[in-house]
A and B are shown apart, each in its own frame.
Chain A
């Protein structure tokens, strides 16, 4: 770098060289803009402009054919907030997230610790755990519909085996969402297991051995050494799982047969937005719901960032 600067100052004494330099900079800028043009064009058309449009759409009564577009003011928002199914969809989504976040965190750490200490079939077991992550929701729903079948399913078979009363699972308003969460844990935990495993690989052995020499038991070593050291990863998982849970759609669609039932019990907010817009064609009304959901997601993300700064141990 310094050599280059020296050369530049030397040549800059002549006017021609300065002009050449300016021309070169201009050419570089043009090349860069040309290279960036496709990406910026795609993002403008499919992200920037639509994101602004979402807000404007929500303030109109918009119809796809372009007729009778009238100003709605805040009415779409107030209608949505007073609509009992929308309220329920927010509650359902929150309920689902409240099951998913602790579920994913605990399961992923437990499974990662288990696999990490295994001497045989290490990568085979990791493959099995990660496999569902790559599979589509619709394609894998059928096995789960069967597991949750009230009469013939395996879930009730298990409950029966340990002497618990049978459940209606996906057909009961109370148990449908937990059933969806169980499916989603199966589907998504493998990703987080791999993330935790790579974090565990970064925990220095020496520290753990020193703790063991000092007489710390396995539990104590985990909570006092391992967990603080992997806390940035755990925090990452909490953030990603929360956002993912607030955007759940495919699993609900697949397990409720595209209905969001029974009795709206599995209607998540995104599912309701989909239904309002694309089944009932109320685009503006659905946009207002989407704006509310987006604001909730953004608020939660900011809140989590703020909390993360205080609670996470960064080395």
Chain B
């Protein structure tokens, strides 16, 4: 009897703790759907009033579709470039034997030791020098090589039996073909995890796009939202509505793919995510 009560209390506590993590998001939802009179009340009321008008008003105030498109374009291109670059490097560091391999790998791992603040301002200066400020490229190229991606893929490639490559080589298969038709299909799950982290990181990044973009045409949705919050700081309902519809896509992706995210973190892959 005491045991079941204890178990019940424990389950209930855990559920309350879990649900409390939703609270800030729920509050934003309540605020966005409030009638105007209900926004400022004490104690705050917590029920939904379903006043959707604010959403269409907030939606019409900014070119949100364009910002979403920018974010998707930046994230998509970053994923393609980073994965390609990482696969090639990881393959060379695991399947090809050559002198100096460990040295190059060490050189790449050294990057992890350098805090990103070290190259923040010089990167900006260099991009300015290359005439790339205020472009999509400025938001993509600095992320072109992911040490974390190279490391993970190398680990994976090293776990594959060497016999695959020996057998393929005897049959006259070159590295590029082996990579394309054997190694690559096998590492699809790893690629997926890395891509997912790049996507979330890209969606949520703020400091770098704030630094390198000025014209609205190339700005991602987070930077647009930051500006929206500054411009409309009095209308809480509008702010909440915009926050909700810009955050929902990434929440949706998280809910759909959380299995991969959790597996990635448990394996220690999410360190830089």
Check A140–B243 contact: CB distance below 8 A.
Answer: yes
Known: A39-B85, A124-B18, A152-B40. A138 touches B7 (CB 8 A): no
Tell me, yes or no, whether A45 is within 8 Å of chain B by CB. yes
Q: Which of these, A33, A38, A134, A142, contacts B28 with CB under 8 Å?
A: A142
Q: Which of B14, B43, B89, B266 meets A198, CB within 8 Å?
A: B266
- How far, in Å, is A257 (CB) from chain B's closest CB? 7
Contact A125 B27 (CB under 8 A): no
Q: Are B262 and A130 in contact (CB under 8 A)?
A: yes
* Complexed CA–CA distance, A146 and B44 (Å): 10
> Is B167 an interface position by the 8 A CB rule?
no
Q: Give Cα A54 to B126, complex, Å.
A: 11
Whether B24 contacts A258 by the Cβ 8 Å rule is no
The answer to whether A277 touches B236 (Cβ under 8 A) is no
- Pick the residue among B28, B126, B128, B261 that contacts A49 (CB under 8 A): B126
Q: Report yes or no: A297 in contact with B271, Cβ–Cβ below 8 A.
A: no
Q: Which single member of B89, B118, B175 contacts A31 (CB below 8 Å)?
A: B175
Tell me the chain A residues, 243-300 only, with Cβ under 8 Å from chain B. Answer: 243, 246-247, 249-250, 253-254, 257-258, 270, 273-274, 277-278, 283, 286-287, 290-291, 293-294, 297-298
Find the A residue at minimum CB distance from B199: A134
Q: How far is the CB of A18 from chain B (nearest CB, A)?
A: 17
Q: Say whether B14 contacts A121, CB under 8 Å.
A: yes
Distance in angstroms between the alpha carbons of A137 and B108 in the assembled complex: 30
Residues of A within 8 A of B117 (CB): 247, 270, 273, 290, 293-294, 297
Q: Are B251 and A146 in contact (CB under 8 A)?
A: no
Chain B residues in 8 Å Cβ range of A42: 85, 141, 144-145
A112 to B: closest C-beta gap in Å: 11
Number of interface residues of B (CB under 8 A): 95
Q: Is the CB of A47 within 8 A of B115?
A: no
Does A154 lie at the interface of the complex (its beta carbon under 8 Å from any beta carbon of B)? Answer: yes
Output the nearest chain B residue to A128 by Cβ-Cβ distance. B18
What does the 1/0 interface line of B146-173 toward A look like (CB < 8 Å)?
Answer: 0100100000000000000000000000
Contact residues of B with A, CB < 8 Å?
A: 7, 10-11, 13-15, 17-19, 21-28, 31, 40-44, 84-86, 88-89, 91-93, 96-99, 101, 104, 107-108, 111, 113-126, 128, 141-142, 144-145, 147, 150, 175, 200, 203-204, 206-207, 210-211, 222, 225-226, 229-230, 233, 236, 239-240, 243, 246-247, 250-251, 253-255, 258, 261-262, 265-268, 270-271
For the complex of A and B, list the 10 residue pairs with the smallest distance between their C-beta atoms, beginning with the closest: A143-B24, A50-B122, A50-B119, A139-B247, A125-B18, A42-B145, A39-B89, A35-B92, A53-B122, A198-B266
